[in-house]
Amino acid sequence: MDKQDFQDHEGSNEDVRVEVEQDSGLVTVSVLKVTPQALESWTNAVFTMLETWPETLPYRALHDLSQKGVTTRYLAAVRYDILNLAAHPSARDQLLKYLAARPDFTARVAILVPISHSGQLGNVFAKLQNRNAGVNRVQYDVFYERQAALDWLNR
């Protein structure tokens, strides 16, 4: 399966990997270490993709926060805003403007967390936030198993 790797994207680093499977259009973001540079790289890669994303193709993404030590640090770094397609808290306004300009755009984002305490914490914040998300065109859910996340993204 061909993948477009955003590792070489301007600002990328070894702490985050963003890939797009060309056949399915599935975006996978794997966070290996939470750093300001990793969040910036992730955000830049998302907006680079969204600039040319076909409006008729649903954006489907797996945000993999399952690496040891990532979930709790990520929650703190994003001010507990775990349901953010663009990762960086400062990018939320830019994302809302993007959504307003593209009324037919839809997205599904599966967030993969470990079953550990930190993953449970991430799930709680996501559930609380999801009740008040207000943007029905972007659906989020949290998973403890990769296959369950992929099944949800592919339905």
Partners of residue 61 on adjacent β-strands: 27, 109
The beta-strand segments (E) located in 32-101 are: 59-64
Per-residue pLDDT of the chain (155 residues; tens, 9 = 90+): 344 554 444 335 789 998 888 888 899 999 999 999 999 999 999 999 998 888 788 999 999 999 988 988 988 898 888 888 888 888 988 988 998 899 889 999 999 998 865 556 555 556 555 544 545 788 888 899 999 999 999 98
Q: What's the whole-model pTM score? A: 0.84
C-beta separation of 12 from 45 below 8 A: yes
The Cα 100–Cα 94 span in angstroms is 10
* CATH code for the domain of 65: 3.30.750
Q: Note down the domain range covering 56.
A: 5-153
C-beta separation of 144 from 122 below 8 A: no
Number of domains in the chain: 1
